Structure 1
Amino acid sequence: MIQLASVSKTFQSGRGKVRALIDISFPIEAGTFTALIGKSGSGKSTLLNCIGGLEPPDTGNIACFGTPIYSLGPRELSLFQRRYMGFVFQRGNLLSYLTVAENIGFPLTLNRVLGRSQAKRIDELLDRIGLASAATALPHELSSGETQRVAIARAIAHSPSILLADEPTANLDTVTGQQAVELMRDLGKDHGCTIIMATHDIEITGSADAVICLKDGRIHEEER
């Protein structure tokens, strides 16, 4: 389970203080798919970053499977992220100088899954995402949909406990976006992964186990 307790976050900007998150508290059950929805500026990406250890909250606590992640030191937090978290970003964020196969293998290398074990896992995922023929391609040779499929495969390669996705369908057409979400959910389900996705696409919420709507940094609605 992931537990958020009274999480708040304020940013300083040229227009003064911006209260991105205000007293956010809710649980996320292990192995479920939770969608964070809301308009631009509602706080959903900030909340996702806080859960992922990328943006420490000003106040409150976040515990991931019993570990209060912000009580960890920088090295311990980095190791926790490397082992237990996977990230999918809006534009894929693939490493431009690595091939498709090398991008997927990157988190495996970080976690010291090497040699035949790594090659087997990469082949499995390439086949699963339908890009076995693109193993040696570079990111600039891929379409937007293919880029996101590789990004999803990379995020799930090391079988993380938590998969965090920030607007992964924003640059995709409706059909391709839905396919990407289905792929993410299927791959996550294979490993009992807890998926949390920030999105503005209402259609995605139909496949979510829980939907949390944010408005002006607060929970506006919650459905399970």
Structure 2
Amino acid sequence: MIQLSHITKSFRSGRGQVKAIADVTLSVDTGRFAAIEGVSGSGKSTLLHCIGGLETPDRGEVFCFGTSIYRLTAAKLSLFQRRHLGFIFQRGNLLSYLTVAENIGLPLTLNGIAGTARAKRIEALLADIDLKPAAMALPHELSGGEIQRVSVARAIAHHPKLLLADEPTASLDTATGQRVVQLMRDLGKDYGCTIIMATHDRDIADTADPVIGLKDGQVVTDS
């Protein structure tokens, strides 16, 4: 289970102190596909980053499967992220100098998975995302939808417990975005992964359970 207790996060800007997240408490059961839904500037990405250890909250606690991640040392948090978390970003964030297969294999390498086991895992994921012919392609040779499919495969390659997706369909057309989200759901189900996705797309958010509505950094709906 993912549990957030009284998470608050503020930033300094030219307008002074801006409160991005205001006293958010919520939970997501293990194995769920959850969506954090809201307009741009509502705090979705900041909340997602707090869940994944990318942004340290000013106060509050985040428990990932029983571990209070902000009580870990920096080194232990990094190890926890590497082993148990997968991230998908809005524009994929693939490494431009690595091939599709190498990008997918990166988290395997970081977790000490090499040789035949690594090769078989990459091959299986290339089949899952229907991109076997593009194994040796570089990211600039891919379409936007293909980049996001590779991003999903890379994020789930090391069997993470938690997959966090930050606006993964924002730069895609509707049909491609829906295919990417379905791929996330299918792979998450196959590998027993809890998924939390930030999105401003109501149609995509409505396919999740639960849907966590966010406005001005506060939870306004949780269904």
**Counterparts of residues 1-224 of structure 1 (less than 5 Å):** 1-223=1-223
Q: What is the distance in 2 between the residues matched to 1:74 and 1:59?
A: 17
- Paired with 1:90 and 1:47, the residues of 2 have a C-alpha distance of 15
Task: Give the Cα separation in 1 of the matches to 2:40 and 2:129.
Answer: 30
Q: Which runs of 4+ in 1 moved over 3 A?
A: none
The AA in structure 2 aligned to 1:133 is: P
**Superposition CA RMSD, Å:** 0.5
Q: How many residues align?
A: 223
Q: Give the alignment's TM-score, normalised by structure 2.
A: 0.99
1:206 Cα deviation after fit: 2.8
Structure 2 residue runs of 5 or longer lacking an equivalent are none
Deviations 1:161-218 (A, max 9, x none): 0000000000100000000000001001111100000000111123211000100010
Paired with 1:97 and 1:185, the residues of 2 have a C-alpha distance of 29
1:199 and 1:206 map into 2 onto residues whose CA distance is 10
Give the AA of the match of 2:128. R
Report the residue type matching 1:108 in the other structure.
L
Residues 17-46 of structure 1 deviation map (CA, whole Å, 9 limit, x = unaligned): 101011100111000011001111100100
SS of 2:116's equivalent in the other structure is: helix
Once residues 17 and 40 of structure 1 are traced to their aligned partners in structure 2, the CA distance between those partners, rounded to angstroms, is 18
In structure 1, how many angstroms separate the alpha carbons of the residues matched to 2:43 and 2:121?
Answer: 35
Distance 2:186 2:19 in 1: 35
TM-score (norm 1): 0.99
Return 5+ residue gaps in structure 1 as ranges.
none
